[in-house]
């Protein structure tokens, strides 16, 4: 594969920084486009907001490939219109910039949030069932990219739908789950037999680099999760053992006991504006299955470099100093 000039929109972020490192190691010329400074590669960063078409055009000029990792993804984004402005209009701006500049290859990080909850493992053909504005706008962004690629047979699109990503330096959903489990008096909710698909940042970044090498199809869409999926009854002992509490499961409460409490706390949060550690959505996330098939990606030849259990322990030691 020849050396390419690559724009990484959102390259200053958690996944983007790891991806940029891998692209450099592979011999590519990389340009970070981000509204935030890059702590690791400040000299490679151009200030750019995906909401600005002019900044996308000026930033991506001369590139062969565009990665778009920029997104509004947190649960408490305000105003809610930011989801649409960044995720959907941002996709339109990236596609318009690519069209103006004659760039025919885009790699986009979507999300398994487009699927919503399901008791079964979901593959890339599963029905769309998003439950929030993040999932909705990621799905709508996908449609923007699909419209772009179908308009010209010389264009190529790769879309990766990662599950919840964790790793050193992240403060997302998996980090918050680990932090809760790591508390000495943590109490389990539910029977713990539900399974969770999660993904280590080192593997996600490596997968994004791998997508650069797939050239057999005009459009390729992949889920990403690190296998095998862990039951909560397996995940909790791994975390608690890393914190030094041993591998025994903590006390547990049935979910039907917690849901009424969570409902009251949600009502209080709505009235007071305060955030509580327990909510119906968090209880639902903890107790629900969240499984995503990765057979398509494995068949394409990707092999993750980090084993899931070791990556969890590695992250806990780095983030919590245990």
What is the number of other CB atoms lying within 10 angstroms of the CB of residue 61?
A: 14
- What is the per-residue pLDDT across 252-295, written as a single tens digit (0 to 9) for each? 999 888 999 999 999 998 899 887 878 887 788 788 889 999 99
Is the residue at 176 inside a domain? no
Is the residue at 77 inside a domain? yes
184-195 mean pLDDT: 91
Handedness of CA 222, 227, 232, 237 (dihedral sign): negative
Q: Which of 134, 175, 200, 224 is catalytic?
A: 134
Is the residue at 21 inside a domain? yes
User: Residue 156 pLDDT > 80, yes or no?
Assistant: yes
Domain that holds residue 220: 5-170+198-227+291-307
pTM: 0.92
Distance CA 34, CA 239 (A): 34
Could you tell me what percent of the chain has a pLDDT over 70? 99
HEC profile of the chain: CCCCEEEEECCCCHHHHHHHHHHHHCCCEEEEEECCCCCCCHHHEEECCCCCHHHHHHHHCCCCEEEECCCCCCCCCCCCHHHHHHHHHHHHHHHHHHHHHCCCEEEEECCHHHCCCCCCCECCCCCCCCCCHHHHHHHHHHHHHHHHHHCCCCCEEEEEEECEEECCCCCCHHHHHHHHHCCCCCCEECCCCCEEEEEEHHHHHHHHHHHCCCCCCCEEEEEECEEEEEEHHHHHHHHHHHCCCCCCCCCEECHHHHHHHHHHHHHHHHHHCCCCCCCHHHHHHHHCCECECCHHHHHHCCCCCCCHHHHHHHHHHHHHCC
User: Residue 304 pLDDT > 70, yes or no?
Assistant: yes
The pLDDT mean for the chain works out to 94
User: Residue 76 pLDDT > 70, yes or no?
Assistant: no
Is the residue at 247 inside a domain? no
Is the residue at 132 inside a domain? yes
- What is the per-residue pLDDT across 87-98, written as a single tens digit (0 to 9) for each? 999 999 999 999
Instruction: Please confirm, yes or no, whether 67 is among the known catalytic residues.
Output: no
Q: Number of folded domains in the chain?
A: 1
User: Residue 77 pLDDT > 80, yes or no?
Assistant: no
pLDDT value, residue 203: 98
pLDDT value, residue 283: 85
Cross-sheet strand order for the sheet of 164-166 = 164-166, 195-200, 226-231
Distance CA 290, CA 116 (A): 9
136-140 mean pLDDT: 97
Distance CA 270, CA 274 (A): 8
In this structure, what CATH number is given to the domain that contains residue 79?
3.40.50.720
119-143 mean pLDDT: 95
Please name the residue that has the structure tokens 């047979």.
153
User: Residue 240 pLDDT > 80, yes or no?
Assistant: yes
Is the residue at 52 inside a domain? yes
Please name the residue that has the structure tokens 């499961």.
249
Residue bearing the bigger pLDDT, 231 or 270:
231
Is the residue at 186 inside a domain? no
Is the residue at 274 inside a domain? no
pLDDT value, residue 75: 65
């Amino acid at each position: 594969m020849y050396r390419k000039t690559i724009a990484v929109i959102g390259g200053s972020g958690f996944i983007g920084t790891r991806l940029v490192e891998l692209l450099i190691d592979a011999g590519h010329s990389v340009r970070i486009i981000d509204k935030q400074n890059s702590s690791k590669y400040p000299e490679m960063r151009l200030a750019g907001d995906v909401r600005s078409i002019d900044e996308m055009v000026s930033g991506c000029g001369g590139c062969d490939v565009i990665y778009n990792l920029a997104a509004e993804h947190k649960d408490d984004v305000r105003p809610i219109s930011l989801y649409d402005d960044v995720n959907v209009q941002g996709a339109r701006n990236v596609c318009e910039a690519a069209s103006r500049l004659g760039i025919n290859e885009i790699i986009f990080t979507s999300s398994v949030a487009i699927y919503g909850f399901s008791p079964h493992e979901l593959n890339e053909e599963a029905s769309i069932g998003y439950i929030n504005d993040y999932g909705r706008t990621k799905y709508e962004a996908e449609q923007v990219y699909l419209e772009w690629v179908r308009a010209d047979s010389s264009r190529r699109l790769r879309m990766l739908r990662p599950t919840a990503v964790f790793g050193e330096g992240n403060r997302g959903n998996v980090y918050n789950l680990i932090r809760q489990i790591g508390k000495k008096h943590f109490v389990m909710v539910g029977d713990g037999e539900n399974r969770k698909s999660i993904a280590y940042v080192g593997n996600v970044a490596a997968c994004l680099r791998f997508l650069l090498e797939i050239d057999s199809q005009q459009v390729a869409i992949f889920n990403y999760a690190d296998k095998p999926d862990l039951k909560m009854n397996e995940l909790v002992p791994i975390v608690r053992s890393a914190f030094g509490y041993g591998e025994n499961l903590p006390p547990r409460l049935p979910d039907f006991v917690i849901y009424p409490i969570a409902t009251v706390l949600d009502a209080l949060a709505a009235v007071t504006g305060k955030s509580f550690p327990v909510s119906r959505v968090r209880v639902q996330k903890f107790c629900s299955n969240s499984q995503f098939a990765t057979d398509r990606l494995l068949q394409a030849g990707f092999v993750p470099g980090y084993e899931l259990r070791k990556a969890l322990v590695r992250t806990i030691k780095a983030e919590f100093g245990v």
